[in-house]
Structure 1
């Protein structure tokens, strides 16, 4: 265990607490104080067992309580890490993901996973109401907050409404960010649901298959023209939606 991982202990209160409560309090103090910042791996359970001269069960009980409170997260074969604050999106707003990540104080990174262009299929037209024979651009990308995947983006753009998108590679700029700067939108529709990650999604988001995910499905218009359809998939422990409203009259 490194010097930085040595746990600061609140001695005056130690005698009044059970051992597992004392361990929990010490771990929380290191996290809340910022001594262990988001993304920091906390000591392994066997290290805590040695430090506190207690059973593995006692340590596990304290760490489990930290997980339930959302302060830490276990990663398979890696350890237990201090969590980052959850990203927040307003239900009735269109968020610019790069700005959303940077507002959390984390470095943003974007990765284009796939790009294709062709005539809209029947399934495409159900997702984004375009005319038969219209061409659409399909993009799959991944957004990162620090070193962790922040969300997956599966987007379809109506090239009849946004022809300039055909000439954009989208290898360095996120399509949502590009659209917000290039195309004024006049209306949008959000559908929100929870899913269990399949194997492919879990691999891309660095989570376990079956873990909960938050999916935002969005369509936008400019006047009478449909602009885009997008599915944004977030790890369930990493994002939350916020709505503010007043009483109905």
Structure 2
């Protein structure tokens, strides 16, 4: 679908990737952009409609869906990373990541699916991660939540195909945002990522591998665990 004159809702729109989506949508001529964030007052962008939304609040998601019944494109961007280990980390933090990175997009997809159908089908964009296919010490909770988000993306694509809703999964390594500020490694810009995702919406592409890291990680999915994690994994001696 073309984004010119489209109505779009972006979660986590107050900074980073979300703010880049808003700017890119403006450049592409979107008619209305709902810029959703936990504190709508933090959104300070011309030409958009700020809307308060905590994606971990099911009741608020339903209220937003009722308020934004003209949406044609849903961009599930809001996410967190706590650096929590699955085996030894705080279970409350693990649940917080799952609530934000998986259940948030799930509940938004469920709330907006009938709206998208009524408005002609439209599209859903899920910002996933290359860590949906790979994990590392300290990234267990994040990777698990993003793996679940990847499965959600594929399932939603199959379930919503009959109503004409195009579902796009976006995978990438590090993005130059506050979340990755302390990491010294190549990073894709938020603007480049948003542009690649919106190009996929307009071209009909189902999956975006936005950088070399995403392409590299996906290429290793046919390998066994000991090969994929050769630099990280040393089995204990028997």
TM range (shorter): under 0.3
Taking CA–CA contacts closer than 8 Å with sequence separation of 6 or more, which of the two structures ends up with the larger relative contact order?
2
- Give the number of the structure whose residues are more often helix, by fraction: 2
Q: TM-score, normalised by structure 2?
A: 0.22
- Give the number of the structure whose residues are more often strand, by fraction: 1
Quick check: which has more Rg, 1 or 2?
A: 1
